[in-house]
Amino acid sequence: MKRFFKNKKVISVIGGLAAGFLNGLFGSGGGTVIVPFLEEFLDQDEHKAHATAILIILCFTIVSLFFYGYRNHLSYSVALWVSLGGVAGGFIGAKLLKKLSGSVLRKIFGAFMLIAAVRMVMG
What does the pLDDT average to over 10-32?
Answer: 81
Range of the domain at 115: 2-122
Summarize pLDDT for 31-72 with one digit per residue, the tens: 788 888 999 999 999 889 989 998 998 888 888 888 888 999
How far is it between the farthest Cα atoms of the chain? 48
Where residue 111 falls among pLDDT bands split at 50, 70, 90?
very high
Cα separation, 93 vs 105, whole angstroms: 11
Tell me what percent of the residues of the chain surpass a pLDDT of 90. Answer: 41
Is 30 a residue whose pLDDT tops 80? no
C-beta atoms surrounding 109 within 10 Å: 18
Residue 2 predicted with pLDDT over 60: no
As for how many domains the chain has, the answer is: 1
φ/ψ (deg, to 5) at 67: -70, -40
